[in-house]
Amino acid sequence: MTTRTASRNPFGALAPVARRPYLTAVVFAVTLACGIAQLVHPPLYDVMHRDAARIDAGEWYRLVTGMFFQDGWAFGLTSNLLWLAFFGTLAERVFGRARWLVLYFGCGLFGQVMSYVWLNPVGAGNSMCVVGLIGGLAAVVMVASRRYGVVLPMQFRVIAYAAPVLAVVDTLAHDNHGLPLLLGLALGFALLPAPVKVAQQ
């Protein structure tokens, strides 16, 4: 396989034909709408966020709705949407939409459940979904050279290998973003696009 050096758009070298990020846009819009609704009508947050006591009482829907509302309110909404727009677009281009859904909602739901049973029983936000995408992209970066013949810039490779270490430290610090990132990394390896598809896109 001929090795290509990624230049202006490193991840574009892995998926030369750009996919329009429609799925990212839809999830962005839904999350934005939920965030605006929460800001306009604050009691809505009390009904939708992750709350272990209420989940124990049978309100299991909170494990899903907790991925669309924000415990950081306006700041959390803004920052999480920026991360979603950036990493969501990259991940949708590299993985495609079906794998994107698995990474985003699989890791997000896993993070919600682990937060509920162990790490952080009360809260909300889509950041655990986004770190799942980051974990998946880290997996692609780790194998880009030997699997796809694409040499990514050194800083991408350093960040990719640092991500699981930081995720472990994050979990030991009792934060709830490390575990979904590690799951995203594992799923990323399992869902890697085939080399021939990457080369022919």
Give per-residue pLDDT as tens, 111-168: 999 999 999 999 999 999 999 999 999 999 999 988 888 888 899 999 999 999 999 9
What is the dihedral sign for C-alpha 187, 188, 189, 194?
positive
Query: In sequence order, which residues have a C-beta less than 8 Å from that of residue 183 and are 6 or more positions away?
Result: 106, 107, 110, 132, 135
Q: What whole-number distance in Å separates Cα of residue 115 and Cα of residue 197?
A: 37
Which pLDDT tens digit goes with each residue over 61-120? 999 999 999 999 999 999 999 999 999 999 999 999 999 999 999 999 999 999 999 999
Phi-psi region of 10 (alpha: psi -120 to 50; beta: other; left: phi over 0): alpha
User: How many other β-carbons are positioned within 10 Å of the β-carbon of residue 70?
Assistant: 26
Confidence of residue 1 (pLDDT cuts 50, 70, 90): very low
Calculate Rg over the CA atoms of the chain: 17
pLDDT computed for residue 173 by the predictor: 95
Q: State mean pLDDT over 172-197.
A: 92
